Amino acid sequence: MVAKDMLCKRRIVAMWYQKVFSFIFFIYASFYFSETVGYEYEMKTFNVLLDHFSFALQQDTFPLRYAINDSYWKGNGGPIFFYTGNEGMIELFIENTGFMWEVAPDFDALIVFAEHRYYGKSLPFGNESFASPDKAGYLTSLQAIADFVDLIEFLKSNIRGAEKSPVIAMGGSYGGMLSAWFKIKYPHVIAGAIASSAPIWQFIGMNPCNTFAKTVTSDFTRESPECSNSIRHSWKAIDNVTATDEGKKWLSASWRLCENITDDNGGVYSLKNWLSEIYSDLAMMNFPYAAKFHHALPAYPIKVLCSYLNDSILPDRQLLESMFRAVSVYFNYTGDAECLNLDSSALYPDLGTDGWDYQTCTEVVQDMCQDGVDDMFVPYKFDFQGYSDSCYNQWGVRPSRTEGITLYGGRDISTASNIVFTNGLLDPWSGLGVLENVSETAVAFVMPDTPHHLDLRASNPADPASVRQVRQHLRHYMSRWIAEHKAASS
Ligand SMILES: *[C@@H]1O[C@H](CO)[C@@H](O)[C@H](O)[C@H]1NC(C)=O
Ligand SMILES: *[C@@H]1O[C@H](CO)[C@@H](O)[C@H](O)[C@H]1NC(C)=O
Ligand SMILES: *[C@@H]1O[C@H](CO)[C@@H](O)[C@H](O)[C@H]1NC(C)=O
Ligand SMILES: *[C@@H]1O[C@H](CO)[C@@H](O)[C@H](O)[C@H]1NC(C)=O
Ligand SMILES: *[C@@H]1O[C@H](CO)[C@@H](O)[C@H](O)[C@H]1NC(C)=O
Ligand SMILES: *[C@@H]1O[C@H](CO)[C@@H](O)[C@H](O)[C@H]1NC(C)=O
Ligand SMILES: *[C@@H]1O[C@H](CO)[C@@H](O)[C@H](O)[C@H]1NC(C)=O
């Protein structure tokens, strides 16, 4: 049993760095969860083809969930705002895309949020959807976008007054990648797309491999160089201290770990992984207002965390004591954590992680690396073969190196039209997104002082000016796309 657990931990460690970055999306989605605003809508289902791209199969279908709100819709050709659901149950995105709800009344828009296949309740084979490669294999972004196309066709032909409606796709994070790809693949189906914090250039070879790690680091250095330096030194301090049994005991006790670190339970790895993960999380969630996510966090949590890390050359144990006080901001802000659980899946117990884990083993593969010099992390090199092998062991599939390029054009999207890419430069994903205008009508806006996809959230008095301004730009482009569509179809 012990041997098996160890093997399992080893495998997780080997995959970890690759996985954690892509999982940050997922984790982020799960953090959304408890922030319920209470928008009202009707939840419906629509039968979609299991496989849109072949006539070989008997044409199996399954019900895809979508939410609809027609309270602002006047039924006379007004626009359809269509959220391209990402890697989670659609309710998460409904509650956290306040922008769409806020602008819909001004446009007399029909609001639609479509769930992504294989997430939430849109499971083609129910609880067996991930049971084997032949069942899971229909989980691809392109199939998901094809679901959206059919749903839009259905809505347009079944809702009175919608036949000629312009459709505007919207999404954040992976949902933003989908809305951009949707416009690129099906320019005739949607009039425009808003892609917020959408790292469509995160795939192998598209950017220096340490882009993500460098941005996370600079978010901490920005508060103070001592802060990122403390973190940079902490890895060695952990190694030093845990080299002895007495040290392991000391660390387990002073960090109040739920499970004591021992020689063979992978505790040191888990601790380092957990730490790296929370730094990346915080870089995405460094919101200007206190937020009640899965854990409560203060406004600007990185600033608060860094206030405890003002001296990077402390002796090992003192450094680690400061580190513990610092990370308590993340896991114990409300003061009710009984112990520190390093198993990060404990963060999101209610959500199946299968879908995203599978996607990171097929299409969503990054060649991320860390060197510990330009960034504050443990050095790590990307090993495609090792990654591929662990995917094969887990899912019976091997990842594609080139999907983002062959399917969606990679960095060559100069033919794209009517897309607005928005990015907050504090967001570690921003460096893997579109920061420059790519064509006459596919444009980019950057928000220097903003984390991950704040612009699509409901407005808040603490929103930075750049976010308010970008929301104005979005409204402007939406009006323009609607007018163009009307002119072309009249
Ligand atoms: C649509 O949303 C608005 C705002 O949340 C709500 O007042 C209205 O009742 C909703 N309409 C439907 C049909 O759910
Ligand atoms: C799926 O659910 C059914 C009925 O609830 C159960 O019998 C079956 O074992 C489940 N399968 C898996 C893979 O969990
Ligand atoms: C770790 O131990 C080495 C060797 O004793 C020492 O030089 C170093 O300062 C210690 N701490 C860190 C953070 O490197
Ligand atoms: C951890 O070790 C201490 C002794 O060092 C012991 O008192 C405690 O019960 C252990 N905790 C767990 C969760 O095993
Ligand atoms: C760091 O902060 C602590 C507590 O506020 C203070 O006692 C200490 O002198 C500071 N260290 C440095 C190097 O500024
Ligand atoms: C969490 O904070 C409370 C209040 O400060 C403290 O009593 C408790 O020990 C902390 N939990 C952990 C695991 O550090
Ligand atoms: C892209 O073009 C728009 C419109 O011309 C402009 O307002 C915007 O600043 C440009 N974005 C960048 C990143 O240069």
Atom of ligand 5 nearest to the CA of 226: 13
User: Do both 170 and 231 map to the same domain?
Assistant: no
User: Do both 117 and 67 map to the same domain?
Assistant: yes
Return the pLDDT at 94. 92
User: Do both 53 and 176 map to the same domain?
Assistant: yes
Q: What is the pLDDT of residues 447-488, one digit of tens each?
A: 998 888 889 999 989 899 999 999 999 999 999 999 999 999
pLDDT band with cut points at 50, 70 and 90 for residue 22 = low
Would you call 43 exposed, middle or buried from its count of C-beta atoms within 10 A (0-12, 13-18, 19+)? Answer: middle
**CATH number for 239:** 1.20.120.980
The verdict on residue 219 lying in a domain is yes
User: Do both 220 and 135 map to the same domain?
Assistant: no
Return the pLDDT at 361. 92
- Residue 275's H or E segment, with its range, is helix 267-284
145-149, 153-157, 369-373: least confidently modelled range: 369-373
The verdict on residue 460 lying in a domain is no
The average pLDDT across 393-414 equals: 91
Atom of ligand 1 nearest to the CA of 111: 1
Largest CA distance in the chain: 79
Which DSSP string do the residues of 54-106 spell out, in sequence order? -SSS---EEEEEEEEE-SS--SSS--EEEEE--SS-HHHHHHT-HHHHHHHHH
125 Rama sector, left if φ>0, alpha if ψ -120 to 50, beta otherwise: alpha
User: Do both 163 and 290 map to the same domain?
Assistant: no
Query: Has residue 177 got a pLDDT over 80?
Result: yes
- Pick the residue whose CA is nearest to atom 3 on ligand 2: 127
The average pLDDT across 405-423 equals: 94
Return the pLDDT at 481. 98
Count how many domains the chain has. 2
CA pseudo-torsion sign 457, 43, 152, 358: positive
pLDDT band with cut points at 50, 70 and 90 for residue 21 = low
Final residue of a domain: which of 319, 341, 363?
Answer: 341
How far is it, in rounded angstroms, from Cα 388 to Cα 186? Answer: 31
Final residue of a domain: which of 341, 359, 378?
Answer: 341
User: Do both 178 and 46 map to the same domain?
Assistant: yes
The verdict on residue 59 lying in a domain is yes
The verdict on residue 368 lying in a domain is no
The average pLDDT across 140-155 equals: 98
The verdict on residue 143 lying in a domain is yes
How far is it, in rounded angstroms, from Cα 165 to Cα 396? Answer: 43
Final residue of a domain: which of 341, 372, 403?
Answer: 341
User: Do both 63 and 165 map to the same domain?
Assistant: yes
Query: Has residue 6 got a pLDDT over 70?
Result: no
Q: What is the pLDDT of residues 217-229, one digit of tens each?
A: 999 999 999 999 9
Tell me the catalytic residues. 173, 427, 452
User: From the centroid of its chain, how far is CA 256?
Assistant: 30
User: Do both 155 and 222 map to the same domain?
Assistant: no
pLDDT band with cut points at 50, 70 and 90 for residue 30 = very low
Atom of ligand 5 nearest to the CA of 311: 13
The verdict on residue 486 lying in a domain is no
- CB of 262 shorter than 6 A to ligand 4: no
Query: Has residue 397 got a pLDDT over 90?
Result: yes
User: Do both 71 and 152 map to the same domain?
Assistant: yes
Residue 35 pairs in a beta bridge with none
The average pLDDT across 357-363 equals: 91
The verdict on residue 26 lying in a domain is no
195-199, 284-288, 357-361: least confidently modelled range: 284-288
User: Do both 244 and 337 map to the same domain?
Assistant: yes
Q: What is the pLDDT of residues 99-147, one digit of tens each?
A: 999 999 999 999 999 999 999 999 999 999 999 999 999 999 999 999 9
Contact 160, 183 (CB under 8 A): no
Contact 81, 100 (CB under 8 A): yes
- CB of 437 shorter than 6 A to ligand 5: no
Amino acid at 84: T
- CB of 260 shorter than 6 A to ligand 4: yes
Return the pLDDT at 393. 93
> Which of 89-93, 294-298, 343-347, 462-466 reaches the highest mean pLDDT?
462-466
- CB of 229 shorter than 6 A to ligand 3: no
Question: pTM to 2 decimals?
Answer: 0.90
pLDDT band with cut points at 50, 70 and 90 for residue 345 = low
Structural domain that includes position 321:
215-341
The verdict on residue 359 lying in a domain is no
**CATH number for 87:** 3.40.50.1820
What is the CA(40)–ligand 3 centre distance, in A?
57
Query: Has residue 88 got a pLDDT over 90?
Result: no
Return the pLDDT at 403. 83
User: Do both 175 and 236 map to the same domain?
Assistant: no
Q: What is the pLDDT of residues 64-84, one digit of tens each?
A: 999 999 999 998 899 999 999
Q: Which ligand is nearest to the CA of 310?
A: 5
pLDDT-above-90 percentage for the chain:
71
- CB of 471 shorter than 6 A to ligand 3: no
